[in-house]
Structure 1
Amino acid sequence: MNKYRRPAQPRPAKKCQKPNKVFILLFLSLILAFSLISSGCRQPASVVYLDELGAQHFTAGWSETKANKSIDGNPLSVAGQVFERGLGTHAESQCRIKLDGRAVSFRALVGIDDEVKKTQRGAERASVEFIVSARDQQNNPQVLWKSGLLKAGDPAREVKVSLKGFSSLDLIVTDGGDGNAYDHADWCQARIEYRGNLPEPVKPYAAEPYILTPPPAPEPIINSPKVFGVRPGSPFLFTIAATGKRPMTFAAEGLPAGLKLDSSTGRITGFIDKPGTYQVKLITRNRLGTAEKMLRIEVGDKISLTPPMGWNSWNCWGCSVTDENVRQSARAMVEKGLINYGWTYINIDDCWHGQRDPKTGEIRSNEKFPDMKALADYVHSLGLKIGLYTDCGPKTCAGYVGSEGHEEQDIMTYAKWGYDYVKIDWCYCEGKDPRATYKLFGDAIKRA
């Protein structure tokens, strides 16, 4: 042992670490507690589907938007995939939905409904673009998503956008830039995830309806045109258009041979064989007075001497039109009093055609129109006239059988059924001379 070695010094005691560990554990515990409290206080998200908010809030460029159905009332179907929920609409279409800034997201699958592929024309023409936009709390608009151009048969495209912080949502369908024919658009499985208040659709602006025409006076007034044209030997039907309190009686002085008047309905019917000009005094009476008006009847080649007034099925029913739709419209024209102001024609547009008789080539109506002659007779019984539609090409605009090569035969068939008017369209007529083509129909009408 070295006697000069310094004795070992005792080590200084370690400072206690326990307080620091306790502090750290306490801090982490507080963070975890606040996190759990925050998570526990957050309101769980709810989901509302567009069909629950109401289809009536979506405008449509044709017909009316439908919940859980296509615009034509069929199951929602895009590229063969059928959807139980959603909205079927038609371009141009729009809906605004008010949010409270706490909505989470909007999701949907969008596309063109398969029903347009029932006709070649629909399959070729349908094109739309879906747009989702929103506005922030300062009302600044922001486009959140665009589908790009969609055509018939394209698979449904998925929409998934965040709505956090937005005060309103706009759902838009445009016509793709080529007009809105056949633009049947579906918002499938469309839903909003939200916290807070239920999203609220904004009612589309609609002016309050009002009547420009003053109410009719109780005294009789004759509203018929002053001139009427008919071809020699053709059926004559003219209803004296008169307003005033009913009951009312009618009379006519100077009717040419072959015509007769029903004094209770004011309908003049019959045939005039001799060409010429005939002046007839129309008279109507009720208990409050009498009205008179001169009518010039021209019997010759000039028949459309006044603009036709009436109803056409296309803008109301499109290809969904049926025999019963036409009958209902004819009854409404009488019951609503339009016939008393000179409204005359009930015209069936495209989509009534069936196939041709394989032996004779005569056109037939499809299953929606079981008896074309009976339909014409019914409309005539109301004092109205009836018209229908064809096309100069091999197909109509909606893809049904056209009149090409059967111009005279079809006109003669329409005359046999008792129709008064024909609209001849110009689809699938590329390369034809309009003057020559329509002359075929015009000459046939004269012979009919």
Structure 2
Amino acid sequence: MGIRTILFIIFTIILLGCNQRKEQQKADNQVREMLVGDWELIIDKSLVDDFPLEFFRLPLGMTITKDSIAFYLGFYQEKLDSMTGRRMRQFLGNTVPYQVNKDSVHIKSLVTRNWAFQWKFIAKRNDTLQLASNDSTIIRYKRLTYNLDTLPDFDQIIFSSSGCYGGCPILDISVTREGHVLFQGEGYVKSLGFFTGHLDRQTTQTIFDKFRKANPLALENSYAVDHTDDQTLTTTFIQNGKIVKTIGDYGMAGTKELIWAYMLLSNIHDVMHLNPLPYDEPFYPKLHTFTFKRDNFVLPLAKSESFYLWTELKKAKQIDKSFTAQYKLVFTRNFDYWGPDPNEARTHKYEINNVVTDGQFYKFEFEDREAITYDLGYNFLERNFNTANFIEDLER
């Protein structure tokens, strides 16, 4: 065999190999294009035999782009709580890169940092995606569609979790449209105490879009499961400096979009840089919320509403001015959590004696220092509530 023949054969093999790789790359890109979208798992009774029942306790969904998959429930790693020794889960994130190779989809795990098989692509018919998790189990996802242009946007979102009979996180987090974050970790979270931080534009947009997809203004004010000892989640939405909605959710009984929005915002503190605040100034009661009290009537604020008031007081001017007090601002115990103090290391700079207000001015009177008066610049009660929100004080 002559040298020319040998070179021709080698060149032909290389050319065929390049064409095969191009064809395979084209086929892989076509799979990627079919995967792109927002998807929710279709619960099939046959899946129960292949997955534990707790696998379906929360709705499963994901957003797939051409280079990443955002799993709405996220990825976690077990840790031990430094205060109590109890197990707690640390959030690692929810978005991973992926690769497609001959219909097989591999993701890069946030837990192991290694590439691992996730599914085999089977088909996409209309708005239904079919994937195989193993040789015999076919799972189906239905496409989710949202028109964000028709859904209300917000300037600030405040999320709070109460804790439970167990190791549920106790926290408050406020994020503004500009990405400014104020965070309080009260228990069963990595960061205990008060912190500030800033989110990048993309993460901020993702958080706000998730809540917009839930369309909070069209939802009920409260949701609840029918068992005891669970946690209460409250979320407050701010438009133009005013509370437009607060949703209470006992045990994650809310809509699927609401739950998916919780998962990212409630865990974002684990994957962002936080700067500690040395003290809770203004004074904020540990394991308590704010309640306005006047005569025999009270207005208890939800946990997220209390933290919202604190974020407003934190921006307020300190003034030396007298005013006519109309209300007391008292502290109501967080009755969802009955265990020992999970953050014993947190102490107040000063011991509080009394807080009085007219809605705009707030005078904090201490046992061991001079009083401090804050001016919000507006009346918090008149802007966000009305007299019908006050109820009779049954504990008077």
Normalising by structure 1, we get a TM-score of 0.24
Greater Rg, structure 1 or structure 2? 1
Structure whose residues are more often strand by fraction: 2
